[in-house]
Structure 1
Amino acid sequence: MMLAAWFAVLCPFYVLAQFGISGKVTESEKGSVLAGATVRIKQNGKVAIADKSGNYNFNNLSTGNYTLQVSFIGFEAQEKNVHLDTDKELSFSLKPSAFLGEEVVVSTTRAGNKAAATFKDIDKETITKNNFGQDLPFILNNTPGVVVTSDAGAGVGYTGIRLRGSDATRVNVTINGIPYNDSESQGTFWVNMPDFASSVDNIQIQRGVGTSTNGAGAFGGSLNIQTTASEPEAYAELNNTYGSYNTWKNTIKIGTGLIQNKWSFDGRLSRIKSDGFIDRASSDLKSYFLSGAYHGKNDLLRVNVFGGSEKTYQAWNGVPEAKLRNDKAALLTHYLNNKGQLYFTKEDSLNLFDANNRTYNQFLYKDQTDNYQQNHYQALYARSFSEHFSFNGALHYTTGKGYYEEYKNSQKLSKYGLDNVVINGTTISKTDLIRRRWLDNNLYGLTYGFNYTPESNLQFTLAGGYNQYRGKHFGQVIWAKFASNGDNDRHYYDNKANKDDFNTYLKVNYSPLASLNLFADLQYRYINYNILGTDKNINQINLKDQLKFFNPKIGASYFINPNSNFYASFSIANKEPSRDDYINADAGKLPKSERLNDLEAGYRLKTETLNLGANVYGMWYKDQLVVTGKVNDVGEYYRQNVDDSYRLGIEMDASYIFSKYFSVLANAAFSKNKIKNFVEFIDDYDNGGQIENKYKNVDISFSPNTVVAGELVFTPVNAFALSWQSKYVGKQYLDNTQNDKRKLDGYLTNNIRLAYNWQLKGTKNINIAVLVNNVFNKKYESNGYTYSYYAGGLVTENFYFPQAGTNFLLNVNLRF
């Protein structure tokens, strides 16, 4: 509906042009045609793909000056200018690249143009124009099936991303083919790498299982990130952003360009600070990126060193529903139900009743912060031995260390391994205290890939990786009102986790006909995981598990012509449980691994004005781990395996250029996400134990049935662009009972982005851009949680994470 409305509004602006440009793309040494070469008109963004004879064609162009850019993997890009006042013929002869292309670094983990996979490529230009300092999920917000959220409410600090309803623990993330997901929780924490988007060259988003990659299993999709590639000329860049909630971003980038056509060095320093939309939800973030490369004719060596540090005030508990709705009677009931659990002091009470209903934060302690530093070291190497055989591999090392600090009221001394305190004959068993929970971890390993192309229609890829994770988890009490026999350095719990992860996969692409491509992708993965020590409740842990997975994938692509094709694939993926699944399971029991069967089918079309993708999918899960409310034998909640669940959907993604002034981008995802049989467990404080409720065919939590996004771009002159962005996310349930009293309402948000470019003497380019988020001040919540219990009847507690109203970010970028 949204897309149709845009078409109706813009049709009067579309005027049929009069002339055309056509030609052929060949390679300079042998004169053979380069079928599949991309030809782009710089002024209006129109794209043509060279056909099997190397020919391209643009029609309906008005009189004027145009710049045509031609690119093809393995060849140097070329530009030509043309003045159009009649039909023109313009051919290109491309030279082979003087050195190995950067794209070879991620070639083994990515889907190619012929792949029977559902994917979207995000180029550097798109990333740059949407980068105002918000975390990477917000830059990807307008891609199909994506839903994002921010604890602080404005996209800086702790943020999250869901893809097809799957959370970050089910979305595989690699950086230059190296795993980024945390090995134990399997989540991704973008707050540890602030402003990372400023050092990203391109991203491929694969939805569904996708092609084999390294790291955690892709149960919703994968993000394959390639960092900064070398630029041919030296540059310096100053990038500064200021916006609502006292948000600042300061970035400095420098690069040498190619030195003697072989060496290059690039660097970045960034700082981001924000008070946050939510009370006290501040962020103080710093990051860096350093890269050096040697470019040979047949090999490429690149060393990357990057990392970040963060200090983020916690906004993890959300806003109680009664507070959010300004329901004073319900808020009093909530307070009385939770007095002594969430609220202890007079200050807690005043904060709950007096704070703004949308910016309320339960925490008041001044150092209620999360503190973490992470550093990454990557050595990437690629070599082409011949036109038939090449190799790429990497050595990597990641180190991280940090803690979160909490003020806790009325804690039992015994929970911290402390003795009761006796004062004047009175035994004291509880105390107020400040605790820190630490993580000190390391991940190191290697990845490898061999590519063999014995014939033009046959390609083999043998790749994989081996990674070792070593993590230390421990807690400290750094202050207590009654210190008992503790001290600051004492670890009240301490455990070590080791995880070894090996995988190898063989990919085969075969084209028996010029129009047909077949592929098979077979992956074997082995995991050895163990934890030894005491957990946060000072219970003994001695867990060991070994898992062996076989993940096969098959598919086919049929090309109607070089611009359009159909594809279909079937994939199987297996995924190990997370750390909490192991620790919180009943003693002596191990959670089952999860299994996914994924069927994808789609159509892609790419012409000079239209880029279209449409696909359908079915994802059938066996033993998916979900929250049920069940508690273990020591009272901890844990996820359980449900036998059968599934996701069915259709996705569409399109961009269309109406004229040199107007273009539109739109995508939509419609899905059905169900658990066939679900059992809910609710604590019964009246009678003890838990009450079970059984459900059939209920919606999977946090899985909206509808996600629609669109962007209208108006470019009256080459230097200025105005964009209107809209996004609708349907309702989401907070748990798996499909209960309308436990849900997030659907919401529609609108943003405006303006950008203007010009040049001054001494600069290469000056760009000023403004992003106005939520222009209609929509009050909405993008995340939440719920729990219920029986105490004189059923009580349900919902908590929500409100997002900011109308807010802005102003960015000024100077490039020299």
Structure 2
Amino acid sequence: MKNWLLTGLFFMIVSTVFSQGKVTGTITDGTGSLPGANVVIKGSTTATSTDFDGKFTLNSTSSTGEIVVSFLGYDNQTVKFTVSNGATTNLGTITLVASNSNELSEVVVTSSVIDVAKDRKTPVAVSTIKAAEIQSKLGSQEFPEILKSTPSVYASKAGGGYGDSRIAIRGFDQKNIAVMINGVPINDMENSSVYWSNWAGISDVTSAMQVQRGLGASKLAISSVGGTINIVTKTSDMKEGGSVSSSFGNNNYLKTQASYNTGVMKNGLSASVLFSRTAGDGYVDATEFEGYNYFIALGYKASDKHNFQFTFTGAPQWHDQRSTSPLLSDYIKYGNGTDPNIKYNSDWGMRNGEEYNLKTNYYHKPVMSLNWDYDINSTTKLSTVAYASWGRGGGTTTNGGIRGNNAYSTNNSLRTPDGLVNFDLIENWNSGQATTLGTRVPVNGQYENSADTGSNRVNGATVINNTAGISQIASVNSHNWYGTVINLDKKFSENLTFDFGVEGRMYQGIHFQNLIDLLGADVYKNTADVNNNPGYFSTTYAPRPNGNPFISTDYQDRINYWNDSKVNYYGAFTQLEYTTGNLTAFLQGAISQQAYQRIDHFKYAYDNPLAKTGFKTITGGDIKAGANYNIDEHHNVFVNGGIYSKQPFFNAVYPNNASIVNPNLTNEKIKAIELGYGFRSGIFNANLNAYYTTWDDRFTTATDQAATNPSGYYTFQGVNEIHKGVELDVTAKPIDKLKLNGMISIGDWKYSGNATSSRFDVANNPIDGDQPLYLDGVKVGNNAQTTMALGAAYEILNGLNVDANLNYSEKLYGNIDVAKFSAVDNKGAMELPGFATTDAGVSYKWNIAPKLGSLNFRLNVNNVFDKVFINESFTNIFADDNISTSNPALGTYASNGQLYNGVATANKVYFGYGRTWNLSVRYDF
């Protein structure tokens, strides 16, 4: 009997230990499967990885337990299971949430107008940054700076004013980077510029930002030579809740923000609103700023088939600037004589005891859009967006002069000993008071300012007068912009999807100058208007944005110039995507027609045909193709390529601010090819890309400085570039609480072949013959060609996280002026010293109680070690150049000790910011 009991007990133990059941399921991120995710039975060594479709199977030796699912970039999720002996338990679909993500629904894109790349499917090099990272790490930095750890991206503070930063991708500046907000292009219709000050509040409402390097995945024929920045904003159908936050930092930085979302109500309506204010003194001297941001989103889900989203957003702002790049010698002179004062700004001074800046930018660019998504049936979807924008504002400057000196001249009689503008002297001169320069002479009993500098050429000689003065004026660049994008998405089968769409844009730019401040004078005399010559003006306008988003531009007086630019754009696009098993391939093409018209109210008499030109129409387009192949659940490879015929900018069609079409007009031609490899696992991800891009017939122009050709100019033909390089970015999660990231990008960006220079007079008549420009092999300037980054984030305690990022840049060359390469033996581009900066932050999230929300604290410190570095040079003066071209015996900059960190002090440069910080607190409810 005893033996039977022992035998039975042994049998039960063996049966329990060796009984088997299967646990299955599918892992997704809410938008697609996650192949390569780790799945482990908690407390055991039994583990597996998900396959192509995100599916897994585990053999369990226990009837109950928990599985732990992990994937790099997502929060771990634990799921309980029960399985009978010999049976299979399917846990269904398990959705992972991105680490620190606010709400997964915020980044789910439903409109086919928005071309967002998908991992292991869309064959492009891509980086995605979600709202949580932007919200925590951006702090008081400019919006483009959140991308500085992205491969082949170079972000610069430029002059350092609020919103004046710039970004480049693969050596192409932001005029050649397409910036899209919810599928709508926002690059300026005339010159493709992006002014981040106009979008200073966009970081508040961004749910995700995706950078597609190269020609990208957009179906539109847009300016994506270097890449595309896709910004997806929040929508009204977020879950109910809101937040209140405040942030403060160095130089009296203060930002406050409040937002609320209703969520989708029972009647299908939803709403989301946000308002914020940002102000501060600015890091650079005399760069005070104030900006507001408002965002209103209204949604209506009429049925399962119709979804409407209306958004209205704007960011009225003003900020004082440093627009003149000082000499490196002046930074040192107004420092301690050895170390530069990197905050030095030559564009300001004291006026009646108060700070006053020559340069103030002010703008309000509200954008309104209406999206309609119509699910016609299970295989057909129509997405439409209609939008409008009314930009109002400009930037101040000065004109005129005093005895040949203007307010921007350095080391002259209009400067104080500390290198600032002597506004009190200018005002005394303008008003006829005695000064060290003498006393101004009135004209017809009053002190008239105008464009006269007080120095004129008469019969080849310089003649100085005592009647001219200096005024502060503004260059106004307002616009009215309307557009629409319509896309039909048709799924022919499980494998084949077809897209077809049309796009239209109508743009009118309004350009003139008006009077800001007479600086003590009585009147401004305008002689530029041939239809009303002369005109006298004394009404001044404050350089501040108007809060009315629909205000007309007609109420302001015009001086010096007044012209309108009209650009009409019409295009069609199509894409065919084929997916089968592990292969995804696409072919897409776009064609567009752009028409340009110039209207000049001042330069030409009303009855002159040139006062209003006809439309000059130019056709462009692109063809792109690519394929991605998933070798297995860990490895994938892709290739893409394309050809792009890019229409020229408005000033290339009508150069030199005249209404005569450029005789050398041609489209720019871009060809690109790219190869990529990706590796995905639960603890380590990597992307390796190689690219080769040619950019031919790049248009550029320059003013002719010769006294023999007043108001003449140059154009340059055959300016070609080659941009090639490799990029590697990696992320890892070696342990549960530690995340690592790194990247390195090595570029070789240079001019290809020589070009020619053509000289024209003011009437666009050619002068002289074409002259050669020896550009072949010269490095492309103004962007670091080699960049590296290394970062880490660690969760110390539940809710308490620390992170740090190191960024390094080198192979940064001075900005190229192609006109200065007329000599065969030129030295090329000057290389600036490489530099490294470190950013660090601490975050803490306190979940107060269920249904009571959370408090979030964040401290950011940028450039922790206060590194001093030059991040832009606008000249190319070498250390071994002679300090005097007319007297070489004086020696070189190096032999005279006129160097800073190996750079000749005669160069005009911008320094990056030193150490900055900000602390924020946010209550989410």
TM-score, with length taken from structure 2: 0.72
Match of 1:370 among 352, 355, 361: 361
Q: Does the 8 Å contact 1:273/1:283 carry over to 2?
A: yes
> Is 1:499 aligned with 2:567?
yes
Relative to structure 1, the CA distance from residue 49 to residue 184 in structure 2 (aligned partners, 3 Å threshold; closer, same or farther) is: farther
> Is 1:240 aligned with 2:246?
yes
> Is 1:748 aligned with 2:755?
no
CA shift for structure 1 position 48: 10
Name the % identity: 19
1:584-631: CA deviation from partner (whole Å, max 9, x where unpaired): 459652543211000011012222112221110000111123577866
Q: Which position in structure 1 is the counterpart of 2:137?
A: 130
Q: Which position in structure 1 is the counterpart of 2:166?
A: 160
> Is 1:610 aligned with 2:711?
no
Relative to structure 1, the CA distance from residue 101 to residue 437 in structure 2 (aligned partners, 3 Å threshold; closer, same or farther) is: closer
> Is 1:662 aligned with 2:735?
no
Relative to structure 1, the CA distance from residue 85 to residue 707 in structure 2 (aligned partners, 3 Å threshold; closer, same or farther) is: farther
Match of 1:561 among 612, 632, 639: 632
Match of 2:857 among 768, 776, 781: 768
Q: How does 1:194-343 map to 2 (within 5 A)?
A: 194-214=200-220, 216-230=222-236, 233-260=239-266, 262-295=268-301, 296-324=303-331, 326=332
Q: Which position in structure 1 is the counterpart of 2:847?
A: 759
> Is 1:467 aligned with 2:517?
no
Relative to structure 1, the CA distance from residue 626 to residue 389 in structure 2 (aligned partners, 3 Å threshold; closer, same or farther) is: same
Relative to structure 1, the CA distance from residue 486 to residue 404 in structure 2 (aligned partners, 3 Å threshold; closer, same or farther) is: same
> Is 1:406 aligned with 2:412?
no
Q: Which position in structure 2 is the counterpart of 1:74?
A: none
CA shift for structure 1 position 104: 2.1
Q: Structure 1: which amino acid aligns with 2:697?
A: D
CA shift for structure 1 position 79: 10
Q: Structure 2: which amino acid aligns with 1:746?
A: G
Match of 1:82 among 79, 82, 88: 79
Relative to structure 1, the CA distance from residue 760 to residue 461 in structure 2 (aligned partners, 3 Å threshold; closer, same or farther) is: same
Question: What SS does the corresponding residue of 2:294 show, helix, strand or coil?
Answer: strand
Q: Does the 8 Å contact 1:437/1:474 carry over to 2?
A: yes
Q: Which position in structure 2 is the counterpart of 1:694?
A: 774
Q: Does the 8 Å contact 2:238/2:261 carry over to 1?
A: no
Q: Structure 2: which amino acid aligns with 1:372?
A: Y
Q: CA RMSD of the aligned region, Å?
A: 4.2
Q: Does the 8 Å contact 1:108/1:449 carry over to 2?
A: no
Cα distance in 2 for residues equivalent to 1:636 and 1:48: 72
> Is 1:430 aligned with 2:437?
no
Match of 1:381 among 363, 372, 380: 372
CA shift for structure 1 position 674: 1.2
Cα distance in 2 for residues equivalent to 1:734 and 1:680: 21
Relative to structure 1, the CA distance from residue 178 to residue 53 in structure 2 (aligned partners, 3 Å threshold; closer, same or farther) is: closer
Question: What SS does the corresponding residue of 2:721 show, helix, strand or coil?
Answer: strand
Relative to structure 1, the CA distance from residue 575 to residue 652 in structure 2 (aligned partners, 3 Å threshold; closer, same or farther) is: same
1:85-134: CA deviation from partner (whole Å, max 9, x where unpaired): 99x97722489xxx999512255533334222222222223222223143
Question: What SS does the corresponding residue of 2:666 show, helix, strand or coil?
Answer: coil
CA shift for structure 1 position 500: 0.7
Relative to structure 1, the CA distance from residue 412 to residue 289 in structure 2 (aligned partners, 3 Å threshold; closer, same or farther) is: farther
Q: Structure 2: which amino acid aligns with 1:759?
A: N
Cα distance in 1 for residues equivalent to 2:516 and 2:204: 38
> Is 1:359 aligned with 2:343?
yes
Cα distance in 2 for residues equivalent to 1:396 and 1:790: 56
> Is 1:578 aligned with 2:646?
no
Match of 1:486 among 530, 536, 542: 536
Match of 1:520 among 577, 587, 590: 587
Cα distance in 2 for residues equivalent to 1:23 and 1:569: 36
CA shift for structure 1 position 581: 3.5
Cα distance in 1 for residues equivalent to 2:789 and 2:75: 34
Q: How does 1:640-789 map to 2 (within 5 A)?
A: 640-678=716-754, 694-736=774-816, 739=827, 742-761=830-849, 763-786=852-875
1:335-360: CA deviation from partner (whole Å, max 9, x where unpaired): xxxxxxxxxxxxxxx99999972111
CA shift for structure 1 position 744: 3.3
The structure in which a higher percent of residues are strand is 1
Relative to structure 1, the CA distance from residue 580 to residue 361 in structure 2 (aligned partners, 3 Å threshold; closer, same or farther) is: farther
Relative to structure 1, the CA distance from residue 25 to residue 450 in structure 2 (aligned partners, 3 Å threshold; closer, same or farther) is: same
Deviates more, 1:471-480 or 1:636-645: 636-645
Q: Does the 8 Å contact 1:256/1:264 carry over to 2?
A: yes
Q: Does the 8 Å contact 1:212/1:523 carry over to 2?
A: no
Question: What SS does the corresponding residue of 1:105 show, helix, strand or coil?
Answer: coil
Q: Which position in structure 2 is the counterpart of 1:338?
A: none
Relative to structure 1, the CA distance from residue 638 to residue 41 in structure 2 (aligned partners, 3 Å threshold; closer, same or farther) is: farther
CA shift for structure 1 position 378: 0.6
Q: Does the 8 Å contact 1:554/1:571 carry over to 2?
A: yes
Relative to structure 1, the CA distance from residue 53 to residue 724 in structure 2 (aligned partners, 3 Å threshold; closer, same or farther) is: closer
CA shift for structure 1 position 733: 1.7
Q: Structure 2: which amino acid aligns with 1:361?
A: N
Q: Structure 1: which amino acid aligns with 2:837?
A: T
Cα distance in 2 for residues equivalent to 1:479 and 1:536: 24
Gaps of 5+ in 1: 1-20, 28-32, 72-76, 329-349
Question: What SS does the corresponding residue of 2:148 show, helix, strand or coil?
Answer: coil
Larger Rg: 2
> Is 1:510 aligned with 2:578?
yes
1:728-774: CA deviation from partner (whole Å, max 9, x where unpaired): 11132223468588443221111111111112247311111111111
Q: Does the 8 Å contact 2:731/2:741 carry over to 1?
A: yes
Question: What SS does the corresponding residue of 1:433 show, helix, strand or coil?
Answer: strand
1:364-421: CA deviation from partner (whole Å, max 9, x where unpaired): 26253111111010101111122211111111001110122223451799x9xxxx97
Q: Which position in structure 2 is the counterpart of 1:530?
A: 597
Cα distance in 1 for residues equivalent to 2:603 and 2:803: 49
CA shift for structure 1 position 57: 7.4
Cα distance in 2 for residues equivalent to 1:537 and 1:787: 39
Q: Does the 8 Å contact 1:450/1:461 carry over to 2?
A: yes
Q: Which position in structure 2 is the counterpart of 1:343?
A: none
Relative to structure 1, the CA distance from residue 284 to residue 541 in structure 2 (aligned partners, 3 Å threshold; closer, same or farther) is: farther
Q: Which position in structure 2 is the counterpart of 1:792?
A: 886
Q: Does the 8 Å contact 2:596/2:650 carry over to 1?
A: no
Question: What SS does the corresponding residue of 1:119 show, helix, strand or coil?
Answer: strand
Relative to structure 1, the CA distance from residue 493 to residue 229 in structure 2 (aligned partners, 3 Å threshold; closer, same or farther) is: same
Deviates more, 1:426-435 or 1:712-721: 426-435
Q: Which position in structure 2 is the counterpart of 1:549?
A: 620
Q: Structure 1: which amino acid aligns with 2:561?
A: Y
Q: Does the 8 Å contact 1:177/1:213 carry over to 2?
A: no
Gaps of 5+ in 2: 1-21, 60-64, 96-104, 350-355, 407-440, 447-463, 526-534, 540-556, 760-766, 878-882, 894-903
Match of 2:492 among 437, 454, 467: 454
Q: Does the 8 Å contact 1:152/1:281 carry over to 2?
A: no
Q: Does the 8 Å contact 1:441/1:471 carry over to 2?
A: yes
CA shift for structure 1 position 26: 8.9
> Is 1:23 aligned with 2:24?
yes
CA shift for structure 1 position 528: 0.5
CA shift for structure 1 position 36: 5.1
Cα distance in 2 for residues equivalent to 1:100 and 1:731: 39
CA shift for structure 1 position 52: 4.4
> Is 1:802 aligned with 2:891?
no
